[in-house]
């Protein structure tokens, strides 16, 4: 073996089999099934979300596409046709609509090259051009046959068989490529325009402008701020080289709304609770977060439910419900909502029914199946009712239309039914004139037939009565007015014994108006009934733990961690994490962080001293304080080692740095609690 430099390693046998296999036990046994359910549920939702998001910018993509098509046909000499896409801060990071444009290009009839440059493509002009040329010449999109591609691949390896060799940042390469392939347009997308260095961007635009007469360039800029800002940063010549047109994509709030609606529309078995939903929406509104992150948060919520909650196995196909393991059924009996249900049965003296559910697993399985299905129906009916609310808001004048997500959050918290919003809505209906009410009623019926939203009973009959009433009032074209409409009452001021008295006076109402008011009363109470019956509080539903997920903490821990706070806390209270005996809980529990003890890790001790000092810390003072805390027990060299290591660690964490103001001091860089 010693004289061999290299040998082939041949293992003698197979790997040893693992000695221990972890078999899932108890509630874990259903994990595989739950994952299947999750896969099925989420794939449906993901498709719905994708479809919605693709559709939302369809018109913008169309416009960009037409712009590019037109740019091929009529060229402006010396100026690059430029599409400026206002994405807003949220959309600037993603691929944006360039991806969808690329899809179009693949099927378009012109030969085009689409490539995208981001600020990381190169820090100087040379590197950027290299990237540009490599991207443009290696990949081609456009109408072509596969065979043709094979032939061209060979040529590409030796791009210039004739003529002198070119440097790899020479746009002549691209020109040759364009000429050989008869490309009609080279589209360059600048993904994060703002992140580019202003001078670099100007230079490359000027250069592209120079070559515009030989290479048919077109540019797309993703802009998060404003066009003025872009123009400020470009040189004059670069601005001259661009002939731009502005395109606007949908607001991020609209996108979030669409994702929500996609989730409501699909027949989802799992509903997200109000607390979680409002947290997610708030983050989306408050910070620069892309809509993909919102969808990811939904997926994560879904995953947490199916992976961690064993009872979610009941959300599977109904046929599979009967062979759910017995310990799951036992777990169902522990649910809070089941206990309230049992209490209600006892109150109703239905002891036999309750006994059966407590003793027979089969009966309980059936009960869970039925009640879960019913609960889900209730919730979808509730979402349909939210649509009715929005419809009513749209039809009534001077009423702001609430967003679907905010209505959902209110409804899931069970607070919508008595809310001022609903009361105000009903009052406005009561005051509405006849022309509005009739359109509202018609739309309600149309909505009912189209989307199966709940509607009032005898809707058709009510409509005919309204119409009859309007018919009977032929002599006037004015719509009928309601008695409750404040326009019909006038305030009358009378002065009696030097006191002003205000009195309300109803203006004279016709007979029809009175009848109309009566009918309006029927309509309003009908709508009120819809709301009352459908806007249930989800926590009142039995087994809501199974189909409603409302845990905020996993979401917060995963999507919004607090790294700085975690480090600060760990340094301030090391005992919480180490759980050692030495600096144990014997001292007062409240103020553990205030104590300094020699047994604590050296870094934690030094951090305490660091917090107590000002913005410039004398290293010698710090050392003396440190030595005093650690006590005289150890040797000085040992303590010094600890001190130096602790100092280095704090510096590594970015808490302090050396300063040029004073050589023997360190500067405090971080403050606590930010």
Partner 1 sequence: MGGQLLLPDELLVMLNEKWSCREQQLRQLHALVSYNKIDTVQPKLRALAASPSTLVAYGPCATGKSRVVEAYLESHVTNRECITGRHLLERTVAAVTASLWNDKPGADQDNAYNVRCENIAALVAHLQQLLKSHDKFVLVFDGVDKQRESPPTLLPALARLGEYVPGLTTILIVQHPPPRFLHQTGVPYIHFPAYTRAQSVHILSQLPPDIFLDLPTDGTDYDAEVHAEDKAWLWPRYCAAIWDSLAQNAARDLVSFRAICIKLWRPFVAPILAGDFGTRDISRLLVAQRRLFQDETVLPDSIIASPTLAPPASQGQDKQSTPSSIHELPYYAKYLLLAAYLASFNLAKTDALYFMKSTERKRRKKGGVTARSGGRASQKRQVPRHLLGAAAFTLDRVLSILHAILPHDLRGTVDVYTLVATLTSLKLLVRGGGLGAGDALEAGGKWRVGTAVSWEYVQGLAGSVNFSLQYHVAE
Among positions 257-316, residues that touch partner 1 (CB under 8 A) are 283, 285-289
Q: Work out which of 381, 426, 640, 670 binds partner 1, going by CB under 8 A.
A: 670
The stretch among 125-133, 143-151, 370-378, 447-455 that binds partner 1 (CB under 8 A) is 125-133
For residues 75-114, which are near partner 1 according to CB under 8 A? 82, 84, 86-90, 92-93
**526-533 contacts, C-beta under 8 A, 24 or more apart:** 526/456, 526/457, 526/459, 526/462, 527/388, 527/392, 527/426, 527/429, 527/456, 528/426, 529/456, 530/385, 530/388, 530/454, 530/455, 530/456, 531/385, 531/389, 531/417, 531/422, 532/417, 533/454
Closest to partner 1 by CB, 149 vs 167, is 167
Of 397, 474, 403, residue with least CA distance to 437? 397
Helix 31-56 crosses helix 252-265 at what angle (to 10 degrees)?
Answer: 130
- Residue 371, C-beta contacts closer than 8 angstroms, at least 6 positions apart: 541, 542, 543
Strand locations in 279-364 (E): none
User: Using an 8 Å Cβ cutoff, are 135 and 115 in contact?
Assistant: yes
Q: Does 564 bind partner 1 (CB under 8 A)?
A: yes
Q: Does 577 bind partner 1 (CB under 8 A)?
A: no
User: Using an 8 Å Cβ cutoff, are 308 and 551 in contact?
Assistant: no
Q: Does 619 bind partner 1 (CB under 8 A)?
A: no
Helix (H) or strand (E) holding 668: strand 665-668
Residues forming a β-bridge with 243? 81
For residues 130-189, which are near partner 1 according to CB under 8 A? 162-167, 169-171
- Measure the CA angle with vertex 505, ends 501 and 506; round to 5°: 165
Q: Does 59 bind partner 1 (CB under 8 A)?
A: no
CB of 76 to partner 1, least distance (A): 11
- Measure the CA angle with vertex 640, ends 634 and 645; round to 5°: 120
The stretch among 39-47, 248-256, 473-481, 542-550 that binds partner 1 (CB under 8 A) is 248-256
From residue 345 to residue 384, what is the string marking binding to partner 1 with x (rule CB under 8 A)?
Answer: ----------------------------------------
Instruction: Kindly state the tokens that stand for 185.
Output: 């347009």
Q: Does 70 bind partner 1 (CB under 8 A)?
A: no
The stretch among 417-425, 485-493, 506-514, 664-672 that binds partner 1 (CB under 8 A) is 664-672
Q: Does 245 bind partner 1 (CB under 8 A)?
A: yes
Closest to partner 1 by CB, 234 vs 583, is 234
CB of 62 to partner 1, least distance (A): 17
Q: Work out which of 110, 135, 140, 233 binds partner 1, going by CB under 8 A.
A: 233
- Residue 418, C-beta contacts closer than 8 angstroms, at least 6 positions apart: none
Q: Work out which of 560, 585, 587, 644 binds partner 1, going by CB under 8 A.
A: 560
Residues forming a β-bridge with 218? 187
The stretch among 34-42, 200-208, 318-326, 506-514 that binds partner 1 (CB under 8 A) is 200-208
Closest to partner 1 by CB, 214 vs 452, is 214
CB of 519 to partner 1, least distance (A): 38
Of 340, 329, 334, residue with least CA distance to 362? 329
CB of 556 to partner 1, least distance (A): 8
Closest to partner 1 by CB, 245 vs 618, is 245
- Measure Cα distances from 496 to 490, 493, 500, 506 in Å: 19, 10, 6, 21
User: Using an 8 Å Cβ cutoff, are 501 and 400 in contact?
Assistant: no
Closest to partner 1 by CB, 193 vs 428, is 193
Q: Does 470 bind partner 1 (CB under 8 A)?
A: no
CB of 551 to partner 1, least distance (A): 18
Q: Does 200 bind partner 1 (CB under 8 A)?
A: no
CB of 610 to partner 1, least distance (A): 13
Q: Work out which of 40, 343, 355, 657 binds partner 1, going by CB under 8 A.
A: 657
H helix count then E strand count, the chain: 29, 12
Helix (H) or strand (E) holding 54: helix 31-56
């Amino acid at each position: 073996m010693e004289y061999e430099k290299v040998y082939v390693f041949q293992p003698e046998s197979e790997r040893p089999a693992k000695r221990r296999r972890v078999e899932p036990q108890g509630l874990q046994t259903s994990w595989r099934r739950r994952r299947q359910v999750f896969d099925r549920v989420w794939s449906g939702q993901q498709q719905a979300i994708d479809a919605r998001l693709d559709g939302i910018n369809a018109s913008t993509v169309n416009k960009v596409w037409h712009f590019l098509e037109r740019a091929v046909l009529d060229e402006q000499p010396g100026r690059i046709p430029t599409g400026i896409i206002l994405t807003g801060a949220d959309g600037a990071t993603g691929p944006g609509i360039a991806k969808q444009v690329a899809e179009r290009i693949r099927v378009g009839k012109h030969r085009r090259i689409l490539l995208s440059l981001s600020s990381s493509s190169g820090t100087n002009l040379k590197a950027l051009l290299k990237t540009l040329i490599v991207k443009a010449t290696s990949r081609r999109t456009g109408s072509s046959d596969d065979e043709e591609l094979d032939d061209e691949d060979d040529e590409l390896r030796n791009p210039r068989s004739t003529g002198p060799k070119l440097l790899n940042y020479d746009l002549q390469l691209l020109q040759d490529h364009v000429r050989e392939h008869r490309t009609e347009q080279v589209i360059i997308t600048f993904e994060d325009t703002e992140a580019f260095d202003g001078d670099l961007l100007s230079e490359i635009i000027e250069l592209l402008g120079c070559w515009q007469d030989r290479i048919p360039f077109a540019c797309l800029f993703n802009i998060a701020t404003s066009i003025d800002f872009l123009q400020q940063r470009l040189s004059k010549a670069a601005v001259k080289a661009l002939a731009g047109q502005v395109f606007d994509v949908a607001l991020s709030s609209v996108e979030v709304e669409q994702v929500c609606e996609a989730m409501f529309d699909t027949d989802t078995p799992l509903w997200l609770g109000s607390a979680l939903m409002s947290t997610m929406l708030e983050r989306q509104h408050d910070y620069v977060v892309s809509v993909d992150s919102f969808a990811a948060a939904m997926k994560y919520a879904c995953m947490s439910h199916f992976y961690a909650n064993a009872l979610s196995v009941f959300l599977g196909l109904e046929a599979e419900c009967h062979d759910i393991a017995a310990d799951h059924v036992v777990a169902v009996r522990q649910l809070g909502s089941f206990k309230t249900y049992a209490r209600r049965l006892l109150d109703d003296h239905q002891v036999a029914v309750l006994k059966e559910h407590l003793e027979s697993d089969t009966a309980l399985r059936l009960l869970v199946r039925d009640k879960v299905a019913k609960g889900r129906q209730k919730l979808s009916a509730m979402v349909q009712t939210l649509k009715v609310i929005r419809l009513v808001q749209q039809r009534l004048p001077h009423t702001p239309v609430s967003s679907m997500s905010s209505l959902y959050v209110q409804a899931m918290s069970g607070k919508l039914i008595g809310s001022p919003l609903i009361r105000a809505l009903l009052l406005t209906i009561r005051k509405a004139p006849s022309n509005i009410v009739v359109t509202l009623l018609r739309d309600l019926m149309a909505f009912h037939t189209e989307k199966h939203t709940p509607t009032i009973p005898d809707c058709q009959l009510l409509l005919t009565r309204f119409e009859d009433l309007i018919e009977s009032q032929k002599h006037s074209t004015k719509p009928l007015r309601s008695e409750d409409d404040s326009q019909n009452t006038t305030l009358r001021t009378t002065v009696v014994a030097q006191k002003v008295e205000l009195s309300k006076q109803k203006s004279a109402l016709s007979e029809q108006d009175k009848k109309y008011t009566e009918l309006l009363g029927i309509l309003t109470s009908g709508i009120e009934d819809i709301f009352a019956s459908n806007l249930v509080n989800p926590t009142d539903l039995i087994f809501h733990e199974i189909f409603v997920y409302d845990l905020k903490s996993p979401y917060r821990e995963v999507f919004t961690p607090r790294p700085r706070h975690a480090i600060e806390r760990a340094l301030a209270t090391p005992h919480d994490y180490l759980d050692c005996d030495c600096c144990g809980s014997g001292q007062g529990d409240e103020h553990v962080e205030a104590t300094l003890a020699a047994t604590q890790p050296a870094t934690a001790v030094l951090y305490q001293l660091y917090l107590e000092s000002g913005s410039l810390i004398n290293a010698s003072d710090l050392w003396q304080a440190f030595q005093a805390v650690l006590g005289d027990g150890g040797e000085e060299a040992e303590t010094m080692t600890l001190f130096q290591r602790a100092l280095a660690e704090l510096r590594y964490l970015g808490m302090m740095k050396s300063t040029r103001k004073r050589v023997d001091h360190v500067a405090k860089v971080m403050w606590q609690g930010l």
